[in-house]
Amino acid sequence: MDTVLRSGTAEVIIGPGHPFCIIGERINPTGRKVFQEQLRRGDLSRVEIDVAQQVAGGAMVLDVNMGAPLADEAELMARAVTLIQSRTDLPLCLDSSIIEVLEAGLGCYQGKALVNSVTAEDERLDAILPLVKRHGAAVIALPNDEEEIPEEPARRVELARKIIDVATGKYGIGIEDIVIDPLAMPVGADTSLVARTLETIELLRDEFGVNMTLGASNVSFGMPDRTSIGAAFLPIAIAGGLTSAIMDARSPQLVRSVKAADLLLNRDPWGAAWIAAHRAQQAAALP
């Protein structure tokens, strides 16, 4: 099953028969005080730097979040989408919990975007899914509701089924345009949580065959040497059925780990991409 995203001039396919999709996480003010202050002033100059760094690192899609406190998030999202699309042809993932912000971003987006995100809460389903359908977008779905973020993989699958049934049955959204987030939990809080995430990935793959994504940095939250943890986690998750991740595309270690997984899982015919990347790295290191 393939999820196709488009900009005005290019497309990216997320699916088990394609290279793992790296969704760059950097255009997000969370934990970035200077960036938050810039956004409150309406200054998007940092966005251009973040775009350039992530494109250079190997991002295939860019997540865009303008959620700075006290800022006009809807206006910023519209401006950021227009700016980013003038700088790169990568498709975008529009990231907000506010309907008006998603509407503003989708309204000026050229192509087929990914919306981040919807949950299994009835109110959220009825607010976000019509917007996704109207704009012909794809959507990331989180299997939690107003009562819980489930610990048990089977319960996550139940809530994923609810979202899929409502999206496809009530709103006519193709199942290929529903990307499930299996809920990445921090290993630092409980070392059994990541095993549950991996189990959820396999269950979702076997039950629905859907594409999946998650916030890769969530896994290592609170732990030292987070990049090494992420670089170990991602290939395991990819082998289990994960087809994309919102991750730090600026990290060579993380990007190499998913490219190596592509090679080992026969998603890089003849190793062409791996060899080309190695040669490019060697050429860049020459004086």
Strand ordering across the sheet containing 21-27: 178-180, 138-142, 114-119, 92-95, 61-64, 21-27, 244-247
Nearest to 184 by CA among 144, 145, 224: 144
CB 154, CB 139: distance < 8 Å? no
- Under DSSP, the state recorded for 166 is I
Chain-centroid distance, C-alpha 185 = 15
What's the confidence (pLDDT) of residue 283? 87
Distances (CA, A) of 62 to 56, 95, 170, 245: 12, 10, 29, 11
**Residue percentage of the chain with pLDDT more than 70:** 100
Instruction: Please name every residue paired with 119 in a beta bridge, in sequence order, or none if there are none.
Output: 142
Question: Does the predicted model carry a pTM greater than 0.95?
Answer: yes
Q: What is the mean pLDDT of the chain?
A: 96
> Per-residue pLDDT for 237 more than 90?
yes
pLDDT per residue as tens digits for the range 49-73: 999 999 999 999 999 999 999 999 9
> Per-residue pLDDT for 97 more than 80?
yes
* Residue 173 host element (H or E): none
> Per-residue pLDDT for 286 more than 90?
no
pLDDT per residue as tens digits for the range 31-40: 999 999 999 9
| Weakest mean pLDDT among 83-97, 117-131, 171-185, 273-287 | 273-287
**Residue percentage of the chain with pLDDT more than 90:** 95
CB 166, CB 125: distance < 8 Å? yes
What's the confidence (pLDDT) of residue 147? 86
> Per-residue pLDDT for 287 more than 80?
no
What's the confidence (pLDDT) of residue 157? 98
Model confidence band, residue 280 (pLDDT cutoffs 50, 70, 90): confident
pLDDT per residue as tens digits for the range 178-222: 999 999 999 998 999 999 999 999 999 999 999 999 999 999 999
pLDDT per residue as tens digits for the range 117-176: 999 999 999 999 999 999 999 999 999 988 889 999 999 999 999 999 999 999 999 999
